[in-house]
Each structure stands twice: as C-alpha cells, then as structure tokens.
Structure 1
Amino acid sequence: MSERTTSSNWALGIVQALEMGGVDCRAIFRQLGLDYAALEDPDARFSQDGMTRLWQRAVELSGNPAIGLNMAKVVRPASFHVVGYALMSSRTLTEGLARLVRYQRIIAEGADLSFRPTAKGYELILAIHGDRLPPARQSAEASMAYALAFCRWLTGQPIRPQQVLFQGEPPADLAPFQQVFQAPLKFNAGHYALLFERADMDRPLPTANESLAQLHDRFAGEYLARFSESRVSHQARQVLCRLLPQGEPKRETVAQALHVSQRTLQRRLQDEGTSFQRLLDDTRRELAEQYLAQPNLTLLEVAYLLGFADPSNFFRAFRRWFDITPGEYRARL
C-alpha cells in the first residue's frame, strides 16, 4: 500500500478523544469499514483517508467542530508509539521535540513536523497532508493540543506558548481553544505552529535517561527503516521530489535512479497499490500544497517547480486535485 497511514497507537488516542465527546466510534468504524479491534494491535496501521472520514463523521454526529481538542485530555506516551518513550528519556524538551520530528512518520505519515529556534524561543511547525481527501482541520488541532499537553505532562509545568498559529478562519466559539492552549491565538496563519519560550524548552526533564534514550533511538530507527525503506513508492517519491524542478520525470529516469528496470519498478509499485502515474500526481499535489503556503513563490514558479512546462497544465491539474484554482487556494491560506 502506498497510501499514507496512521499508527494504531495514534488512532486509539483519537478514538478515546472522540468517545470522550460522546461519539460512538465503534459504530462509525463499522460504517466506514475500519477494524475497531485493530486499535489494540500496536503494529496495525489505518489509512489516512479512513482517519479523515472518522473526523468528519465525528464532527457531524457531535455537532462539535472543536472535538479534536479533547486529545489534550488523553495524554499517554504510547500514543506516540515508541517515539513517546524516546521523548520522555530525552534530556530536555528541545532534544525531545527534535526526536519527535525525526521519527514523526512512525506516528502518522500525513503530518510533517519541523522544530526550529526563533529570535525569542522555539517554533514547532506542523503541516497536515491529505491522501485522496483533503485533511480535516480537527486532525491538526488535535495534534497541536496533544503536543502541548504532552509537554506539560512531561515537565510537570503549566507551559504557556508565546503564541499558537492556525491555518483557516477562526472558529465561531474560541472558548475551547483558549481553555486548552492558554496562549494568544492567531488564525489565518501561513502554517500551524506552537511558539515556545526558550526557558520552557531547555529545562531538564525529570524523566531524562541517556541510556534509555539511546535504546529508544535504536528501536525507533529500526522501525522507521523497516517501515519506509522497504517501500519502493517511498524511495520513488524522494527521487521525484528531487527531479521535478528539472521538468516532468520519465519513468525510466526514476527506475535508473533506483537501480531497477522499468518493469520491476512498475511491478513493485503495483504490489504497493499504486502506479508511476499516480505517484507522480500525488507527489505534485502534496508539493503544490507546500509551495502555495510560501507567499514568496509566484504561481508561475510553483508550476515550474512541479515540473509543468506549460503553466496551464498546472492550473488544470490543480483544479482536478482541489476543485479550486491555485490563486483561490492561496487566498484561503
């Protein structure tokens, strides 16, 4: 399968948060064709689109668009798979969040994290990608609420961010957001982010343990290697990202870069539930989202970075992906 997946550990945390909001997840899982029993299997994974549908259905049934914030109430290291324990054994939150970024794909492939120093502290930036469906904003809100609650739980300190950034319009009811984040909120931002004070991030963690941290690093690294590198679709996606700015990559060029024949590449992609054309289309779609969030890039530059020789082909593809033009998409951001 080349579709993005979410670990059962993270999915279980989401289910607990939704059930806390009065949603019957067992019934929704049945309706969506998801396996509720697999939540108890630490090696199971759920499709990204399955989780998006779960969020959508839960919001419909509960009538609560802020239901994702319940994730702040279900903090447990296991939700982050082995990464939670690696984070706990880190010396400081700075070190722990760097580990979270490194091993993020173990938890959920639909999210990209980055953690960087700023003039006044640190910024944890989150990007959520859809698979065939655009991502639910509740997914991003839940991730942010959980990350902050985990930092508070780990340090035993009531950490208050300098600011919390959200993409999209402000909700009708701000109260749940103010209650969970206890910080200045900014909506219609270019990306999702938590801005932290340097002192909060650099304070020693009570659970720090250097030898355990190394052990968890080994487990997480081995899991990630098994999980990613064995998938030719993952390797091909990396090659496509590298080649796209030079024009539309040919299948034979990608096969050569991976040291396999075109036929082998096609067969292995097929085994993983995709094809070269679909992978190219998906990669372009994801990169388009990322590039359009960067205001310094013109639409023409974005088209060329995605390997489109003719910008009108980019506009047509974009409308097919998102049902709106690139300009309208950027205006919403």
Structure 2
Amino acid sequence: MSERTTSSSWAMGIVKALEMDGLDCRALFKQLGLDFEALDDPDARFPQDSMTRLWQRAVELSGNPAIGLNMGKVVRPASFHVAGYALMSSRTLVEGFQRLVRYQRIIAESADLSFRPLEGGYGLILTVHGDHLPPTRQSAEASLACALALCSWLTGRTLRPVKVLFQGAEPSDLAPYQRAFPAPLVFGAPYDALIFERADMEAPLPTANEAMAQLHDRFAGEYLARFSESRVTHKARQVLCRLLPQGEPKRDVVAQALHLSQRTLQRRLQEEGTSFQSLLEDTRRELAEQYLAQAGMTLLEIAYLLGFADPSNFFRAFRRWFDTTPGEYRARLASQPEPVSGARTPGYTARTP
C-alpha cells in the first residue's frame, strides 16, 4: 500500500520541537509503532499519518496547541534534507524558494507548495494534505515557522513578512504566534502563506555558492528519481510508453505487466492521486509535446505512436489538451525564439503525486 511519507530530516525537526516542551519522543515513537533509531538514517521515511498522530499526541500531552511553532527555533538547512543545502547555496531567496518548491517532495509528500510573485512582493503558499487522516494545523504552522526562521538564518537578520496567513481559526492565545511571526497575522485564510517584500527576496544571500548549488541540484534530482521509481504511477507510465505504439493499452494488460490485479492497480494509482484513465491521458499529452518538437515526425506517425487507431481521434484529443490543432502547435513551436539562458518562468508549483 502506497502512503505519503515524510523524510527523517523533517521528522527529526519535529522531534526537537516536541522535546522543547519536555516530551519523551522515544517513548512516543514506541507508542506509535515508529522506529526512533531510523531518525539517524538520512534516507529513512515515515508515514504521513504517523506524523499526524505524533502531532495530535504531542498537543494532548503538552497542552500546547501552538507547539508546532517550536520548529522555527530548531530549524537548520539540514532539516530540509538536500533541498535545504540547495536553498542555502542559491544566489537569492527567490532562487532558493524556487529550488525548495522543486524538491519539496523530498522533505515531505503531504503538501502542495508554491512560490510566486505578487503585487509588490512574493508569496510562499502552502496547502497541507492528510493521507488517511486529516492534517493537523500544527504541521502547517511548523512549516511556516521553519520557512521564516530559515530566511533569517540564511540572511543573518530578522526577516519581517508583509503578512502571514493561516487556514486555522484564530487561537485563544495569540502570543506564541506574535513571537514567531513579526508581522500582521490573518486567520481563517484559504491557505497558509508567508508574504514577503520583494527586496528581501531578491537580496544576495551571503551563503550563495553557484558550484555547490549545481552539486546539490544533482544530488536532489538523483534522490527524486530514485524516490519516484518506487511509485506505481512511475512504473505504470513506463509500461504505457512501451505499449502505446501497439495501440491503446488496456488496464488489465498494464496490471499484468506490473504483476498486480486490476483492482490493486486502480487502488494504488488512486492512493497516489491519479487513475488509470488520467495517467493514460497525461502520458499521451506529454509524449505528444515531445514528438511534435521533432520536426522529422509526421502527424500520422505521432498519432499511431500515441496508440490512436484513427488519426482523427488524436486530433480531437489534442484539441482538448491544448485548445489548438497539432499543426498549429508545431508551427508555434517553430516560430518561438530559443530561450535565453537562465530565463525562468514566473510561477513555481510543486504538487504531490
């Protein structure tokens, strides 16, 4: 059964935060059936639901609903696994947060994270998801406190956000929040977010190191690749790519190739946030983009390589995907200038699969 997971680096940060309130985390881990020694293994991962239970139990035992904010006091780049070091070696916080978004799944799979320009500033926007259990507000609040503390740690000065947004209702005791976030606080918001001044995000970082940034990018990319390969979505996509030139693949054939029953395949895909039909559609769409960039391939060849017995079905699907015809799409590709080296798109979003 595939579950969303959290890195041991992030779990260690949670442990340090809970120990600040005097909790015995070794005993807590034992109660929850978790391996406390695995915290020392950088490649170990813990189920998301177990982290949810850990936060719930911590609030019960400590009587402190703001306990998540403690994580801001213990955060270091290492808390974010290799993504933290990639952020630290970035030229600016803008570049660093773009990396954090790109590699966020390494830290924990339980959130959608995005970093985007807003009027006069930037927003780091977080939406935490549960797995089988709904997420706790402590989890989101810990993430925001960590992100802000990391900014101050990297810049060497106290960074003051324009405002801080919380999905949770306003707590009865605001004091811990006011200490953790030197900014206007908004509760009951549609998402959790830190809103920053543009100048703070674009200032050069004293920790910047381009050579190290590239090295950490490589390590993070390799980790993500290993991580993705263990997921059924990734394996099913590989099978689809292999079978598509023979015609539209059937679910039972893909399940058989993966040594799973159809029902198990469908359930595992659902647990990873997709379905067989959605995966087939996504795979075809991505391959269509790749094939159309190859000038030597005809539209007829592309239709058959994508498993469409009738080219008119390919044209209809393509118009549904891109709101244009394959020919028009290819012409637009051919007319585009080469991208400028280092150019970046304005918005960055990481989504859990």
TM over 0.5: yes
Contact kept? 2:233, 2:272, Cα under 8 Å: no
* Residues 45-194 of structure 1 mapped to structure 2, 5 A cutoff: 45-194=45-194
Amino acid paired to 1:29: F
| Residue of structure 1 in register with 2:257 after alignment | 264
Which secondary structure state, in structure 1, belongs to the residue aligned with residue 195 of structure 2? strand
Contact kept? 1:112, 1:128, Cα under 8 Å: yes
Which secondary structure state, in structure 2, belongs to the residue aligned with residue 263 of structure 1? helix
Contact kept? 1:266, 1:276, Cα under 8 Å: no
Q: 1:85 to 1:188 in 2, by over 3 A?
A: same
| CA-CA distance at 1:234 after TM superposition | 5.1
Amino acid paired to 1:166: F
| Residue of structure 1 in register with 2:215 after alignment | 215
Q: 1:169 to 1:218 in 2, by over 3 A?
A: same
| CA-CA distance at 1:99 after TM superposition | 0.1
Contact kept? 1:163, 1:196, Cα under 8 Å: yes
Which secondary structure state, in structure 2, belongs to the residue aligned with residue 261 of structure 1? helix
Which secondary structure state, in structure 2, belongs to the residue aligned with residue 195 of structure 1? strand
Larger radius of gyration: 2
**What CA deviation, in whole Å up to 9, does each residue of 1:53-74 have, x standing for no partner?**
0000000000000000000110
Q: Partners in 1 of 2:96 and 2:89 — Cα distance? A: 8
**What CA deviation, in whole Å up to 9, does each residue of 1:137-160 have, x standing for no partner?**
100000000000000000012110
> Are residue 277 (structure 1) and residue 267 (structure 2) matched?
yes
Q: Partners in 2 of 1:203 and 1:235 — Cα distance? A: 42
Which secondary structure state, in structure 2, belongs to the residue aligned with residue 81 of structure 1? helix
Q: Partners in 1 of 2:135 and 2:100 — Cα distance? A: 21
Q: 1:104 to 1:123 in 2, by over 3 A?
A: same
Q: 1:27 to 1:281 in 2, by over 3 A?
A: closer
Bigger mean CA deviation after superposition, 56-65 or 72-81? 72-81
Which secondary structure state, in structure 1, belongs to the residue aligned with residue 135 of structure 2? coil
Q: Partners in 2 of 1:184 and 1:122 — Cα distance? A: 16
Which secondary structure state, in structure 2, belongs to the residue aligned with residue 267 of structure 1? coil
| CA-CA distance at 1:231 after TM superposition | 1.6
Q: 1:51 to 1:253 in 2, by over 3 A?
A: farther
Amino acid paired to 2:165: L
Gaps of 5+ in 1: 238-251, 286-333
| CA-CA distance at 1:21 after TM superposition | 1.2
| Residue of structure 2 in register with 1:41 after alignment | 41
| Residue of structure 2 in register with 1:330 after alignment | none
| CA-CA distance at 1:253 after TM superposition | 6.1
Contact kept? 1:155, 1:205, Cα under 8 Å: yes
| Residue of structure 2 in register with 1:13 after alignment | 13
CA RMSD of aligned residues (A): 2.5
Q: Partners in 2 of 1:141 and 1:216 — Cα distance? A: 27
Which secondary structure state, in structure 2, belongs to the residue aligned with residue 212 of structure 1? helix
| CA-CA distance at 1:269 after TM superposition | 9.2
Q: 1:46 to 1:203 in 2, by over 3 A?
A: same
Which secondary structure state, in structure 1, belongs to the residue aligned with residue 273 of structure 2? helix
Q: Partners in 1 of 2:137 and 2:234 — Cα distance? A: 25
| CA-CA distance at 1:111 after TM superposition | 1.4
Which secondary structure state, in structure 2, belongs to the residue aligned with residue 98 of structure 1? helix
Amino acid paired to 1:17: A
Count of residue pairs brought into register by the alignment: 267
> Are residue 28 (structure 1) and residue 28 (structure 2) matched?
yes
| CA-CA distance at 1:229 after TM superposition | 3.4
**What CA deviation, in whole Å up to 9, does each residue of 1:143-193 have, x standing for no partner?**
000000000000012110001001021111011001001100001111110
Amino acid paired to 1:111: A
| CA-CA distance at 1:233 after TM superposition | 3.4
Q: Partners in 1 of 2:250 and 2:70 — Cα distance? A: 44
**What CA deviation, in whole Å up to 9, does each residue of 1:208-265 have, x standing for no partner?**
000110000000001001101342235669xxxxxxxxxxxxxx96749xxx623234
Q: 1:31 to 1:269 in 2, by over 3 A?
A: farther
Q: 1:105 to 1:235 in 2, by over 3 A?
A: farther
TM-score for the superposition, normalised by structure 1: 0.75
Identity in percent: 71
Amino acid paired to 1:80: F
TM-score for the superposition, normalised by structure 2: 0.71
Gaps of 5+ in 2: 238-247, 276-353
Which secondary structure state, in structure 2, belongs to the residue aligned with residue 164 of structure 1? strand
Q: 1:193 to 1:36 in 2, by over 3 A?
A: same
Q: 1:228 to 1:55 in 2, by over 3 A?
A: same
